[in-house]
Structures are given as C-alpha cells and as structure tokens.
Amino acid sequence: MPNASARPKHSRRTRRRRREDPARNELVSSSLESAQQCLFNQDYGTAFVHYLLVLNLAPVFKDFARDSFRFTLFKWAEELDSVGRIQDLFNCYEQALELFPSDEVILNSMGEHLFRMGFRDEAAGHFHKALKLRPDYPEARENFYRVANWLVERWHFLMLNDRGRNQKYQQAIQKAVQSGCNTVLDIGTGTGILGMCAKKAGAAEVYACELSKTMYELACEVVTANGMDGSIKILHMKSLEMEVPKDIPHRVSLVVTETVDAGLFGEGIIESLIHAWHHLLLPPQRDENEFREQSATGRVIPAGATVFGMAVESAEIRRHHRLCVSEVGCLSMAAAGELRSPVSCSSEPDDSMEPYTTERLSRLPGGYKPLTEPFTALNIDFNNVQELEGLSSREVQQMCLPVIQEGELDALAVWFQLHLDEESSLSTGPQEDTCWEQAIYPVHSAKGFVLKPGDELIVEISCRDAYLRLCSVAVRREGHEISLDKRVDSRYSGNPSSNPNPEAELCSALACLQTGQNQTKDFCMLECSEMALLNNQDYHQSFCNAIGKLISQLKVKSRNQEQGSGVQSVLADSANSTECSDLLYVLDVSEGFSLLSLIAASQGHVKAYSSVEKEKQQEVLKRLARSNNISEQHLEFWLNHIEDEQGMLKRPSREKLWSAIILDCVETCGLIRQKVMEKASLARCLLEEGGHIFPERIVVYGMLVESDTLLLESAVQGQEPTLGFNIAPFINQFTTCCSAVSDWFKQVCDQATVSLLKRSTASFLLCCICCDRYPMFTKLIQ
C-alpha cells in the first residue's frame, strides 16, 4: 500500500490547478476531437499520436477513451506491421503500456505481435501477464497454452517418462565416470538430467549447455532444487559457440548428449560433435591397446549409432503426402499437375522442405505393411572425428532390397540404435515400447507404384546438409529397371506398370503445355493437412451435392420471380455466359488450398471467388478450371482484389449479394477456427434471400477417454522422482493439454462434472476441444 501521508502536500492543489489550466484544457479537448476525427477518417497514425497526447495530459480521460485508444493502437500496429516498421510498432505498444500498464488486451495483442516476430519467450511473458490480470480472458489463455507448447516441446515429457531410456543413460554415465571420466559436458541438457547423473556418479566438474532459453531457465531451477547449483555450471548457449577457457576452463573427458531426433541427425549432433572434438573434448583414445596413463582421453556417450530403414505401405502416410484420387467432388484431377507435401528429399534441398516427418508406425491408423526387411542404412562412430567429418562427403550408397510383400510403395521408415557404450544401447525401432517415433521419408515420385515379391527396390542413401537422405530411385523387375524418379528419363524402361494412369498423365501433360509449364520439374506444394483434405472424397462430394441443391433452388426461385414480374429470361443456358444477370455469386473464404470454389463454379451459372493466395496454387486451380470446362471468367481470386481483411466479406458488387459463402471453420485436426466463426453473423447479412453459409451448422461431439499415451505426452507422471531427481514439479508447469482442458471444463461445466473429473484417479482427457461454452457439450458429459 502506498503511504498516503508520504504524498507531497501540494499534490491536490497541483492537480486542481492542472485541471483548471485553460490552455491545457483547450489543447486536450482539441486533440481529443482531432483524435476522433482522424479515427473516423481511418488515419490511425495521427489518431494514435493525438490520443497519446490527450491521455498523457489528462489521465482522467483514460476510462472514457480506453476502447477507442485500443482500437486505434491495433489498427495503427497492423499498418506498421504491413510495411515492416517493426521497431515503431513495438514503440507504440510500449507507449500504450506506459499509459495502461495493466491492460490485458494490449498486453495480449503485443504478445501476438512478438510471437509472430519469433520472440516466443517474450510473447509468453506478455500472455502470462495478461492472464494473471484476467484469468478468464480466453484469448490470452489460448495464446499462452499455444506458446507454452512451443516453449517446452512435448517430447521432453515423453523422454522423462521413458524409464528404460533414463536408466540406460544413467548406467552408462556412471560407468564412464567411475572409469575415470572426471570432467563432463552435457550438450543440450534440457532439464539438466544427464548432467545431474554425472554429478551424482562422482564427476569432479560438470558443465551443461542448452540453447533454448526456457529450457535453460528450467534446468537452472531443477539443478538448484536438487542442491547442485554450485556444482554444475549451466550455460545458455549452443555448444558450437562454446570455447575453452572462456566458457569452460579446460577440455573435458566426457561429452554426454541426447541431441538426436527421430531421424538421428536432425538436432545437429554431427556438427556439435565435430566441434566438440576440435574444441571441447580431450583427444580420443587412438588405439584400444595404447596405454595412456599420463594424458587423459576424451569420449562421447552415445558412442555411436546404427540407422535402419524399411519400405512400407501405409494409406495414412499416403493421404498426407500425395494426391491419391483422380476425382474430387465433381472435378477431374487429371490436369492438377504434381501436388506434393513439403516433406521430400528427392528434390533439390529447399528451405520450405523437410526431408522427413515422424510417425509412430505401431500407432498409424490403418496400420502399415512392411515391404522389405529392415536394412542397415548407416553406421556411425561418434568417437571418430574423421568419420564424422567424412559423413557429408561419403559417396551416395546404393542398396538393393528384396521386396517381401506386395504393396504400394508409400514411404521409407527409418529408426536407429543408439550405442551408449560397448554394452548398452537404446533402440527407436517400431517394435520397441519406447517414447520414440520413426522418421518417415514419403515417396512422391512413384505415384501408386505397387511392389511385388521378387522385385528389388533400389534405394540411395546419402548425407546432405547434415541430414540423412533416403531416396527410392528404381525397382528391378524381371531384369528391367523401372525408374521411380520421373526426372531420370534415361532409366525409364517403358514398363506400363510404372505409369498406372497413362490417360491422366497425358491430360496433365497437355494442360501443362497450354500453360507453358514443365510439370515434371515443377510441382505445387500443399501442406500435409491440405493434401489430406484434398484426398477426402466424402467431404468434397457432400459439398458438391449441397451446393448443387442450393443452386437449383435459387435458379427455380429466380425463374419464378422473373415469370411473376413478366420478364422473359433471355439468357443463354451455357456455362460460358459470363456477366448474365442470373449469375450466382459464391465466396469461399477457406484458409489455404481449397477446391470448393471450383466445385461451386462447375455447377454452371456460378461466379466463384477463391481465397487461395499462393501463385502456384492459383495456377493449379486455373488449370483444373480449364480442364473441367469451367470458364476462366467464372473463377476469381478474391484476395487479389482486396487489400485489407475488412473487405473480406464485402459483396461482389453493389447490386449483388452472395448466394453462398463457404466458411471453412473447422481445422482438419478438429479444432474450430473461432475467428472464422465470428465472421458467420456478418456473412449472413451479405447473403441473398435463400442464400446459404457452408457449413450450415456444426455439431460437436465429445467423449471422455482414458489414454496413457496422452498423459505421457502431457506431463511427467507419477510421484516417484525421476532417477532420484526432483524434476517433475518444474517441467510440469508447462503441462498444457490436461490443465487447459480441465480449466476449460471448469468454466463450461457445472460443479458436479468437475468434481467427477477431479475424483477420478484414472487418466482422463477430452479428445475434442470446441468453442467456448458449448451447451451441447455440457449435456453430453453430465
């Protein structure tokens, strides 16, 4: 509490004098008027400056002007953002927060900007502050959970919950320390667990580094809580930036690390170890028989790894990475050209591409079929710096793999065995019950190629940009070699089975000729979720039926009206008649790639507006329009016409209202896009009589489920300390899913339901989160 008597005695008088200062009052009121006028004229920058002046001179107006000030700030920030004036943008927010330091809406909005700019930690801080100020503020809550998810990735929980892995690492570290490795560096310490193992095993000096700020802070907390803060030095840096003696006083005898991802090299272990051997580690033991009593040697845990691969069929993988259907809704897709997911290592490396994705094969919906036996793709010794350095210049290795079962070649799955030392290893294989997923290298080029027993699959293995790359290049069948990579034409044997749909290929080649595009070199990239949606025939067919029905209803209606008013319809019945008066207008505001506008346009007498933004994707739509006999004039790209989001739902022309608006408000993962939902009421006003919004309504189902897997991903489980260390309470602050859902429950449901959940000792989770306060949900679980 501020001490009232400590205030300067004249403060009252000063305040009164201030208020009575006529010049100041004049300035305040004229500035306020200017602010309002500028706001009305959408001159947000000037309005913002006027508001700043008014509120600094006359804080009494804060309550009165708060909403307009916020609105001005957000609009001005949007403008600054769009022209890249980022520093100015943050300055404005800082000025705003000086005036309104505990305004949760401003804090949350600044957090959103910070997040978009990549300042995740700072963004998290803002969301957290906003949430503290108003715990029931849904936007800040949602933002915070999203960021928390970013800050501490869920695999940290999985790894800490994997007892087998923890114990093996602990034993290997203990053995190494006891055999003389006295100085230890833990690279990528995460929660600090491996460093603490080394200390507990008796290492004299332990250092640890961690590049993520959140994880570094967490490690410091954990190490302190375990009474080791004086004995483990934790550095917030990437190991590659570490130097002796600046960061650690001398080279160490042991590096421990688990900076490996499902594809082994994705966290940069090769680069880190090369650097460590050159700068941070004592020289290695050269020869097993060499006696080195005097000079200590260095080593690494894990000592090395063996990488395995296997070709698989999986419809689930397929539908996320390539087009599997020849018709979508009522459209033929023959002329679509090549559509692929951004997961590919057969093409030239590109920033927007990832060579692999990850899946737990054993849990794939629909399962998977192994098409080859597992094969050894690579062996690597982490204690041999020459081998590490030679990896990227290793020649491309070609392997010939006998096919053991008939099936579509969808992907190469990869896993590895991590040799901690000579005796102990960890496997990330699909058969193991571990926390690990497998790396999936989808096969794009072999569209629907069916492998048969007796075939041999030729795979090329290489190491580029420190990533392991696996590529299925050809199939050997009955003495012929069938190329799977369309660009390697010289190898193409002409075997018809390599081209399952020659007609479609021809169509698409023709369509490409028309657009002057070389389709074999050029492809259009779709996100995995967009690809999966495109492959969903039911979804498109239902839309096709629904829009067809609506259009015939509207046509009947307009015919009746015309007859009623005695006007003769003189319109040509062809789909090519362009600006005819009975043309129906359909707007698709789906995010990302969507064919719905084209499906609408294919009904005839429809002018459809698509929201597809990317140029290549627009080209695909135009190509499909042409090949499906849809006049180009009947497909427009909405976002090419409007500059700001405000105009988003504006009608196509003054006289005309929309016949249908497609609001794509459910994400493919099942979440509801709240912002799109909010547009629904606005959209409704812009519909012609009898017009429709698609989808018409959404029914949300919920179910309580028990799932150990979800629990293992969301928090460190159990009361027992992890390897004897106190870690769970610290990392569990970042538990997202469970607490988010149960908090949400507390808001939505009545007390009875909440207490039921609390009492249940079994794991509980909700598999479907929907928009706030959905009444049906409450009913369902009661």
If the CB atoms of residues 190 and 329 are measured against ligand 44T, the closer one turns out to be 190
Q: Which CB sits closer to ligand 44T, 157 or 744? A: 157
Give the pair of three-digit tokens for residue 18: 């201030």
Q: Does 272 bind ligand 44T (CB under 6 A)?
A: yes
Name the phi and psi angles at 139, rounded to 5. Answer: -60, -45
Q: Is 361 in the site for ligand 44T (CB under 6 A)?
A: no
CB count within 10 Å of CB 670 equals 11
Among 43, 79, 88, 267, binds ligand 44T (CB under 6 A): 267
**Candidate ranges 193-201, 211-219, 470-478, 704-712; the one touching ligand 44T (CB under 6 A):** 211-219
Cβ closer to ligand 44T: 238 or 555?
Answer: 238
Segment interacting with ligand 44T (CB under 6 A) among 85-93, 111-119, 182-190, 683-691: 182-190
Rule CB under 6 A: is residue 498 a binding residue for ligand 44T?
no
Q: Which two tokens stand for residue 81?
A: 């953002």
- Asked whether position 255 contacts ligand 44T by CB under 6 A, the answer is no
From the list 122, 210, 359, 485, which residue makes contact with ligand 44T (rule: CB under 6 A)? 210
Of the candidate spans 29-37, 130-138, 187-195, 329-337, the one that interacts with ligand 44T by CB under 6 A turns out to be 187-195
DSSP for 70-108, please give it: HHHHHHHHHHHHHTT-HHHHHHHHHHHHHHSTT-HHHHH
Closer to ligand 44T at the Cβ: 338 or 713? Answer: 713
Query: Between 240 and 450, whose beta carbon lies closer to ligand 44T?
Result: 240
54, 89, 187, 300: which one contacts ligand 44T (CB under 6 A)? 187
Query: Closest separation between CB of residue 3 and ligand 44T, Å?
Result: 47
The radius of gyration computed from the CA coordinates of the chain, to the nearest angstrom, equals: 32
At position 159, the amino acid (one-letter code) is M
Per DSSP, helices labelled H in 611-661 are 615-627
258 binds ligand 44T (CB under 6 A): yes
Nearest CA to 306 among 433, 398, 425? Answer: 425
Residues near 268 by beta carbon (within 8 Å), at least 6 away in sequence? 259, 466
From CA 337, how far away is CA 343, in angstroms rounded? 17
Considering the complex, state which of residue 329 and residue 429 has its C-beta at the smaller distance from ligand 44T: 429
Choice from 89, 215, 371, 660 touching ligand 44T (CB under 6 A): 215
When asked if residue 209 is in the footprint of ligand 44T (CB under 6 A), the reply is: yes
**Does residue 633 contact residue 622 with C-beta atoms inside 8 Å?**
no
Name which position in 436, 725, 734, 745 contacts ligand 44T (CB under 6 A): 436
Shortest Cβ distance from residue 352 to ligand 44T (Å)?
21
Q: Which is nearer to ligand 44T, 272 or 736 (CB)?
A: 272
Place of tokens 């090395």: 304
Give whichever of 157 and 543 is closer to ligand 44T, judged by the CB atom.
157
Kindly report the CA angle at 476 between 471 and 481, in degrees rounded to 5? 90
Range 115-126 burial, b when 16+ CB lie within 10 A, else e: beeeebebbbbb
User: What angle in degrees, to the nearest 10, is found between the helix axes of 22-40 and 11-20?
Assistant: 60
Candidates 32, 161, 190, 486; binder of ligand 44T (CB under 6 A) is 190
Rule CB under 6 A: is residue 418 a binding residue for ligand 44T?
A: no
Is 439 a binding residue for ligand 44T by CB under 6 A? The answer is no
Residues 101-120 interacting with ligand 44T (rule: CB under 6 A): none
Give residue 42's region: left, alpha or beta (phi > 0; psi -120 to 50): left
The stretch among 248-256, 345-353, 430-438, 581-589 that binds ligand 44T (CB under 6 A) is: 430-438
Binding mask 131-170 for ligand 44T (x = CB under 6 A): ------------------------x--xx-----------
Interface with ligand 44T (CB under 6 A), residue total: 25
Interatomic CA distance for residues 749 and 746, integer angstroms: 6
The tokens of 598 are what? 């084209």
> Measured from the CB atom, is 156 or 340 closer to ligand 44T?
156
Segment interacting with ligand 44T (CB under 6 A) among 44-52, 233-241, 591-599, 702-710? 233-241
* CA 672-676-680 angle, 5° bins: 115
Minimum distance between the CB of residue 449 and ligand 44T, rounded to whole angstroms?
29
Residue from 212, 383, 462, 603 binding ligand 44T (CB under 6 A) = 212
Least CB distance to ligand 44T at residue 438 (A)? 10
| CA quadruple 58, 60, 64, 66: dihedral sign | positive
Neighbour-count burial for 425-454, b at 16+ CB within 10 Å, e otherwise: bbebbbeeebbbbbbbbbbbbbbebbbeee
Rounded CA-CA distance 573/582 in Å is: 11
Figure out which of the listed residues 437, 485, 530, 588 binds ligand 44T, where binding follows CB under 6 A: 437
Strand pairing category for 467-477 and 480-483: antiparallel
- Residue closer to ligand 44T (CB basis): 328 or 435: 435
Q: Are 209 and 272 in contact (CB under 8 A)?
A: no
Query: Facing residues of 311 across strands?
Result: 412
* Contact call for residue 268 and ligand 44T (CB under 6 A): yes
Instruction: Give CA–CA dist 439/261, Å, rounded.
Output: 9
At closest approach, how far in Å is the CB of 174 from ligand 44T?
A: 21
Contact status: 188 vs ligand 44T (CB under 6 A): yes
Q: Output 92 or 187, the one with its CB closest to ligand 44T.
A: 187
* Residue 417 lies near ligand 44T (rule: CB under 6 A): no
Q: Encoding tokens for residue 61?
A: 């107006």
Helix ranges restricted to H, 117-185: 120-133, 138-151, 155-161, 163-178
Give 333 or 411: the residue with its C-beta nearer to ligand 44T: 411
Max intra-chain CA distance, the chain: 109
Does the protein bind ligand 44T through residue 232 (CB under 6 A)?
A: no
Asked if 259 touches ligand 44T (CB under 6 A), the answer is: yes
Query: Tokens representing 418?
Result: 């991590």
- Contacts with ligand 44T by CB under 6 A lie at 155, 158-159, 187-188, 190, 209-212, 215, 238-240, 258-259, 261-262, 267-268, 272, 358, 435-437
